[in-house]
Amino acid sequence: MPAIYALYVINKSGGLIFNKEFVTIASNSLNDTLRLASIWHSLHAIAVQLAPAPGCTGIELLRADTFDLHCFQTLTGTKFLVVAEPDTPDVEALLRETVYDLYADYVLKNPFYEVEMPIRCELFDQNLFNTIAAVHRRWGLVH
Amino acid sequence: METINAEIFTLTYGSMVRQLIADLEDISAVNKQLDEMGYNIGIRLIDEFLAKSKTGKCGDFRETVDRVAKVGFRMFLNTTAAVTNWNAEGTECSLILEDNPLTDFVELPEGCQNLVYCNVLCGVIRGALEQVSINTECSFVRDVLRGSDVSELRLKLLSLNKEEYPFKDDD
């Protein structure tokens, strides 16, 4: 069954500035997440350089047998990562449109949010949670 | 998108500029502060612009300026700017503001003739473009508030950072 497990946001310099799990993931500690963020940031950058064809913008999707990891990097260098059930549809669009919109609205427009710093914005959390819950409901998944 | 009365915006901006003049007591310091404030707005605004306009990567600086003038100004100021006066290298151009809601009710008094009332716009453009690795310089060269027939922003490309990451092999 398709499901969105978690969302991570990585800033330009590779620091994890947001992490939220929507479904409990087995033994996923904050340290692991921080490590994942910085490793992903580096791999993403290396991939751009290693790509045989010009115009590569980095890794967009990592497929494993138990999860898909989608990555969307904005033109400003911020990365949004989503861990989802394998073959979950429309994650690209969700990141590109909905999540990025929410970030622009509730994080960047919050005058007390400092850019590049960890995101602690209640409104972002709420709206994100509602969005994901709505997506899950559409798939018949109840929180 | 939710909308509010544009006058709220215009009046808020006006009282902010007044307050800056009162606080800083020096017109050139006010100009500098407005540019700085604009910069701080710009570095946040760019993501809003990219997210909502669903815009992709631009091919060159000309295309970038065009999007700023046509899409950006429309989105945030509900007006557009005309792009003219390109230099031969395509690194410098002028944005002519056809209609500027910020100046709707403004008359500059004696003693404020050097005030660049809308300098915040320069900062916004500079900050926003810097976030997408385009370093620019932006300033008003003509201003309706100071007797010109149109408002003209001069935008100069300083450098394009091709890479987003500080890759240096010798590091």
Say which of B43, B47, B131 has its CB closest to residue A103.
Answer: B47
Amino acid code (one letter) for A1? M
Nearest to A75 among B50, B52, B167 (CB): B50
For chain B, list the domains and their CATH numbers. 7-160 (3.30.1380.20)
Size of chain B in residues: 171
Q: Which residue of A has its CA nearest to B44?
A: A108
- The DSSP call for residue A114 is P
Domain A4-138, what fold?
Beta-Lactamase (3.30.450)
Cα separation of A96 and A73, whole Å? 9
Domain edges within chain A: 4-138
- pLDDT tier, B14 (very low <50, low <70, confident <90, very high otherwise): very high
Q: Give residues 58 to 77 of A whose Cβ lies within 8 Å of B.
A: 74-77
- Other CB atoms within 10 Å distance of the CB of residue A5: 19
- Continuous segment of H or E residues that includes residue B160: strand B151-160
Tell me the three state secondary structure of residue A74. Answer: coil
**pLDDT tier at B62, thresholds 50, 70, 90:** very high
- Distance spanning both ends of chain B, measured CA to CA: 46
- State the average pLDDT for chain B: 89
Tokens, residue B151: 């408002």
What φ, ψ does residue A48 adopt, rounded to 5°? -60, -40
Q: For residue A10, which residues of chain B lie inside 8 Å, CB to CB? A: none
Share of chain B above pLDDT 70, in %: 94
Q: Is A100–B47 a contact, with Cβ atoms under 8 angstroms apart? A: yes
Helix, strand, coil shares of chain A, percent, nearest 5, are 40, 20, 40
Which of A12, A77, A101 is facing B52, going by the closest CB pair? A101
CA-based angle A130:A136:A140, to the nearest 5? Answer: 135
ipTM of this predicted structure: 0.84
Centre a 10 Å sphere on the Cβ of residue A115 and count the other Cβ atoms it contains: 16
Is residue B169 pLDDT above 60, yes or no? Answer: no
A34 and chain B in contact, CB less than 8 A = no
- A84: DSSP letter: E
As beta bridge partners, residue B94 has B84, B154
Local structure of B32: helix, strand or coil: helix
C-alpha span between A16 and A21 (Å, rounded): 14
Q: How many CA atoms lie within 13 A of B89 on its CB side?
A: 6
Q: Are B73 and B81 in contact (CB under 8 A)?
A: yes
DSSP run (H or E) holding B7: helix B6-24
| Residue B87 C-alpha from the chain's centroid | 20
Cα A92 to Cα A77: distance, rounded to the nearest angstrom = 17
* Pairing, β A61-63 against β B134-142: unpaired
pLDDT-derived band of residue B170, with 50, 70 and 90 as boundaries? very low
pLDDT of B148 strictly over 60: yes
List of residues 6+ apart from B133 with CB closer than 8 A = B160, B161, B162, B163, B164
Angle of helix B27-53 relative to helix B6-24, nearest 10 degrees? Answer: 150
pLDDT tens sequence across A12-69? 999 999 999 988 776 678 898 999 999 999 999 999 889 888 888 899 999 999 999 9
Tell me which residue has tokens 């999707």: A61
